[in-house]
Amino acid sequence: MLIDRRTVMTGAVAAMAAAPLAARARPAASASWFDRAIIIDGLGGIGDPYDGSDATRLSDRSWQETLQTGVTAARDTVMPVGNVADPWGDYQKDVETKRGYFNANPDRLIHVRSAADILKAKREKKFALILGTQDTAMIGGELDRLAQLKKDGVLTVQLTYNNGNLAGDGALEPRDGGVTKLGKATIERIEAEKLLLDLSHGGARTMAEATALAKRPLVISHTGARSLTEHPRNTADATMKAVADKGGVVGVYWMPFLAAGRPATEADLIAHIERVANVVGEDHVGIGTDNGVLPLALNAEAKKKMDDWSRERAARGIASPGEGVGIYPFIEELNRIDRYRSVAATLHKRGWSVSRLEKLFGSNFLRVYREVWGG
């Protein structure tokens, strides 16, 4: 079965369901602007860390803790990623699973089909979930499938995932061959369908060429600044600036790839956020944690699940440098329910105005969503 990072992380947290909440969260004082603002995680996702079964209904505990995070909306991933045997079949299965999730939580979740749904979720104290792919392997040469994605409520399409596909080369493909002729046609069709193009996980040349080809705002939903940390998943300043020049947004992830040779820290995250903001401007930077909304806790059983998942990614050739057994995809000191608020507070202390923070934590992504999807 193909599973993504957020699925594994949710399963890992389930192993610690009995742990006291206070042991995993150190709530900070609430900032009134944060509670009023639209908070968007450009690549996140939610799940129930306290139910190890296949139940699709969120538990009361997980729902209350999701509300505590203050996050209004997150983009979740419809699988698969990578070059698998039946990518379209895997996609159809996963999108059906996502439908079941929405159907089981109508009083809590809103399936985003336009930017207006995010505002509705804020008004109604619900959670807005945006569906998107992290690959076009399920599309291949069948570009009409992009119309089906839109019908399914999948609003964001990522061009590549680490390795090469028919559209172009990902971040780990040594040849770095850029966008193919089919990739150019895929971008044109993505934009014609008014879907949002995402260039995360792309090869350096692929990202640069795709940005040049784009005629509408686009995003790099989750990345870091390569000028600070040399890593294939991080992005060059020139490409980030080009995305901003097209009206797009660059989201900064909360991942180990923000540092080299050691665990990433909150200080590393702040450095990357400020670097990206300085390169693209305050209107074009966002947050895309590449984590789940709720924090992760690990015991021996949970670590085994994560390590097995790391081995599977390595065997499939989709693991990035810095991934591996014993390395977990989060920033340890921010593995807290109040982590979004905590980072906002740190930036505020560093001189970020409320207006600038509101842009970073949601309104920049919301602007792009409005321009691309409407609403």
Q: Which of 158, 140, 153, 11 is nearest to 96 (CA)?
A: 153
- Does position 6 have pLDDT exceeding 60, yes or no? no
* 3-class state of residue 46 by DSSP: coil
User: Is cis: bond before 20, omega within 30 of 0?
Assistant: no
Check whether 109 has a pLDDT greater than 60: yes
Residue 141's Cα: distance from chain center in Å? Answer: 25
pLDDT in the model for residue 52: 66
Each residue's pLDDT tens digit, 212-265: 999 999 999 999 999 999 999 999 999 999 999 999 999 999 999 999 999 999
Confidence of residue 4 (pLDDT cuts 50, 70, 90): low
Using CA atoms in the order 313, 301, 330, 137, what is the torsion angle rounded to 10 degrees? 30
Q: What is the CA radius of gyration of the chain?
A: 19
The answer as to CATH 3.20.20.140 being correct for domain 5-19+30-373 is yes
pLDDT at 32 over 80: yes
Torsion angle of C-alpha atoms 140, 141, 147, 149, degrees rounded to 10 = -10
Q: Which residue has the tokens 């509300």?
A: 67
Mean of the pLDDT values across residues 196-210?
98
Cα–Cα dist 223/290, whole Å = 9
Q: Residue 23 — very low, low, confident or very high, per pLDDT cuts 50/70/90? A: very low
CB-count burial class (<10 Å; 0-12, 13-18, 19+) for 28? middle
154-158/109-111 β-pairing: unpaired
Residue 119: what pLDDT?
98
Pairwise CA distance, residues 352 & 92, whole Å: 43
Q: For residue 24, name the pLDDT band (cuts at 50, 70, 90).
A: very low
153/132 Cα distance (integer angstroms)? 9
**pTM value?**
0.92
Q: Do 40 and 360 meet the contact criterion of CB atoms below 8 Å apart?
A: no
* pLDDT tens readout for residues 48-71: 877 766 789 999 999 999 999 999
pLDDT tier, 1 (very low <50, low <70, confident <90, very high otherwise): very low
Q: How confident is the model at residue 104 (pLDDT cuts 50, 70, 90)?
A: very high
Q: How far is C-alpha 294 from the chain's CA centre?
A: 14
Greater pLDDT, 48 or 370: 370
Residue 272 sits at φ, ψ, to 5 deg, of -70, -40
Q: What is the pLDDT of residue 326?
A: 81
Contact 235, 207 (CB under 8 A): yes
CA angle in degrees (0–180, nearest 5) for 22-27-29 = 155
Stretch (H or E) spanning 190: helix 181-192
> How many Å apart are CA 249 and CA 298, to the nearest integer?
33
Q: How confident is the model at residue 100 (pLDDT cuts 50, 70, 90)?
A: very high
What count of other Cβ atoms lies within 10 Å of the Cβ of residue 50?
A: 18
Residue 2 scores a pLDDT above 50 = no
DSSP 106: T
Residue 142 contacts residue 148 (beta carbons within 8 Å): no
Q: CA 328 to CA 9: how far, in whole Å? A: 9
What's the pLDDT score for residue 269?
98
Taking residues 280-308, what's their average pLDDT?
89
